[in-house]
Amino acid sequence: MKQALLMLTLVGVLTVFAAAQEKATDSVQGKTEKEKAEKEAPRDSSSRQKRYLDARERNAAILTFAWRSVRGVIYEKKRLLPEDSPQETPLQLSEGVVELDAERVLVPDLWETHTILRTPNLSCIRAQKELPKVGKNTLGKSERPLLWDYYYLGDEGKIVISVFRGFLGDTDWGVVHVGYADRCSGFGLPSPFLGPSVGVMIFLGGISPFRLLGAEIGDWKLIEVNEEEWVFELKIEEARRKHFEGLLPSGEQVRFHLSRNHGDAPLRLEFRSKGGYEKWETLAFTQVRGAWMPRTVMCEMNVGGTVNQTVYELQNVSQTAAVELDIPRGTPVLDWRPLGLELWRKPDEEKSIKMEWSPELLSSLWLTLHKEKRD
C-alpha cells in the first residue's frame, strides 16, 4: 500500500512539474506604444521564447478575460460609531443596507468588473469597483465606482505600474506608481499600491499558483494527494527565509489545491494567520481552447472581524488584440524602482523618484528589463 501511494505521489509530482519545461513562441501583436518602445531597446534571441509553468498559463498569455462580480461586506455596528457616541446612538443605514442582527449590518451586491488583457510581454488589469460608503453614524454605497488600471511589463511581470483613475472617470488621473520586482516574478505578488489582491492573476488571469509570492518551485511541498486534488504548502527553508521576510506575515500558512479532474487547474488557495484569512476557491470550471480554467470563483477575506465575500463570474474570453499604456504625458509618477523587491516589504517614499509620465520613461522601463536579461 505504501509503495502504491509513493508511486502515485511521484507520478503526481512529475505531472505537475513536467510542464515547467514547456516553451511557447511569442505571438505578434498589433502596433502599440509598447512595441515602439521595445524597438528602441536591444533584444536577445531568448526573448522570443517564453517559459510557462503549465498549459493553462501558456494559453492565457494571449487572451483577454472579462469578469464581473458581486460581493457583500459585513460590518460590526460598534466599529461604525464614534468611540465617544452614546450607546443608544442609532446607525443611519442607506437603502439596500441590511441589518443582520443587533450587532452586524451587511452592505450587499457591491458590483465589480475586471478586464484582464494578456500578451506575452505586457498584461493589464482594468477594474471598476463599487465601494461601501462609511460616514459618521452612516453606512451606504458610493455614488461612483473606483477606477484603476494595473500593468505588468515583461514575460514575468517584473515591472508593475498602478494607475489610479479615481471616482470621477477617465479624466481623473492621480499619481502613477512604478515598481520593480527585480529578479522575482511580479505576477504572484500582491500589489504594493492600489491594485489586485494576490489571487486575481492566479484565478482570473491564468497565472500558475507556483508563482505566488515570488516563490521558487522548490519552496512548495506536496503534503497531500488523493483522487480529486494535489495539495501544496509553502515550506520555507532557512536558505530562502530572507526572500519571504516582509512578504509573508509571521506564522502565516499558505496552501493551494490543484484539481486533478480539471488539468491541475487551481481549485483553492488559502492564506491563514492569527489575524484572519484569505481564501480563493473555484466553484465551477470551463474549457478555454482545450485547457481547464475557472469559470466561477469565490474569494472570502476575514480581517479584523470584517468579512468580505466576492463571487466572480467569467463573462467572456477572447484573443487579445493589443495592450496599450495609455497614460497622458505629464501625469505625476512615483518611481519606486530603486527599492526593488523592498518596495513590497517596507516601502520608503524618500527613496522613490518623483517625475512625470513620458514616452522616454516608458522606454527606460523596457530597457530595465532588457538589461536584466543581458546581465
Per-residue pLDDT reduced to its tens digit, 231-244: 999 999 999 999 99
- SS3 per-residue string spanning 75-88: EEHHHHCCCCCCCC
Average pLDDT, the chain: 83
Choose among 356, 329, 331, 371: nearest CA to 33: 329
Q: What is the pLDDT of residue 326?
A: 83
| Residues in contact with 165: Cβ distance below 8 Å, sequence separation at least 6, in sequence order | 147, 148, 149, 172, 173, 174
pLDDT 10s digits, 65-83: 999 999 888 888 777 777 6
Backbone angles phi, psi at 229, to 5 degrees: -155, 160
Q: What is the pLDDT of residue 79?
A: 77
Q: How far is CA 218 from CA 235, 240, 300, in A?
A: 9, 10, 28
Pairwise CA distance, residues 244 & 241, whole Å: 6
pLDDT higher than 90, residue 32: no
Pairwise CA distance, residues 340 & 368, whole Å: 12
Average pLDDT over residues 249-266: 92
pLDDT higher than 50, residue 40: no
Q: What is the pLDDT of residue 171?
A: 58
Q: Which three cell numbers stand for residue 355?
A: 517625475
pLDDT higher than 60, residue 24: no
pLDDT 10s digits, 285-318: 999 999 999 999 999 988 776 778 889 999 999 9
Q: Which helix (H) or strand (E) holds 342?
A: helix 342-345
Q: What is the pLDDT of residue 49?
A: 38
Give the pLDDT band of residue 161 (cuts 50, 70, 90).
very high
Pairwise CA distance, residues 155 & 369, whole Å: 10
pLDDT, greater one: 248 or 57: 57
Average pLDDT over residues 344-358: 91
Pairwise CA distance, residues 246 & 344, whole Å: 7
Q: What is the pLDDT of residue 233?
A: 97
Q: What is the pLDDT of residue 16?
A: 40
How do 138-141 and 92-93 pair as beta strands?
A: parallel
Q: Which helix (H) or strand (E) holds 122?
A: strand 122-129
